[in-house]
């Protein structure tokens, strides 16, 4: 079983930045995929960024909606992944979930359905 705990959400004005963090309870460092999925009220879940790690090689993937503004990173020693969110927009308002899996048939996937483990979510609110 893997537990994920997010932190770092909050309320900011458009154009500002926030950094989300996620701690992974167990991490076998040779092979995994993880990322961030968000869901706004009344909308579908959307994968925004992901990491595919295998044997020291890292592949990143971003949704078009956040490319150039969001940066995902990981630290195996600390068992963490972070999402740096810059130039935030009101449409970024959502609950953000940290996601993780050891089964990664499609690599750095943005498909929320591919992830078995989910955190409890952290709210990000961006006002105009």
Report phi then psi at 38, rounded to 5. -125, 155
Quote the CA–CA distance of 11 and 24 in Å, as a whole number: 24
Q: Which pLDDT band holds residue 26 (cuts at 50, 70, 90)?
A: confident
* Distant-in-sequence, close-in-space partners of 38: CB < 8 Å, separation ≥ 6: 45, 46, 48, 92, 94, 95, 96, 97, 124
Across the chain, which distance is largest between two alpha carbons, in Å? Answer: 43
pLDDT digits (tens, 9 = 90+) for 59-86: 999 999 999 999 999 998 889 999 999 9
């Amino acid at each position: 079983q893997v537990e994920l705990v997010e932190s770092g959400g909050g309320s900011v004005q458009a154009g500002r930045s926030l950094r989300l963090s996620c701690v992974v309870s167990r991490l076998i460092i040779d092979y995994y995929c993880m990322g961030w999925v968000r869901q706004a009220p009344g909308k579908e879940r959307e994968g925004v960024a992901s990491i595919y790690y295998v044997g020291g090689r890292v592949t990143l993937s971003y949704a078009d909606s956040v490319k150039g503004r969001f940066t995902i990173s990981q630290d195996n020693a600390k068992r963490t992944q972070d999402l740096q969110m810059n130039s935030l927009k009101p449409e970024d308002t959502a609950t953000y979930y940290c996601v993780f899996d050891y089964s990664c048939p499609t690599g750095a996937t943005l498909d929320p359905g591919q992830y078995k483990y989910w955190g409890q979510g952290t709210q990000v609110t961006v006002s105009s």
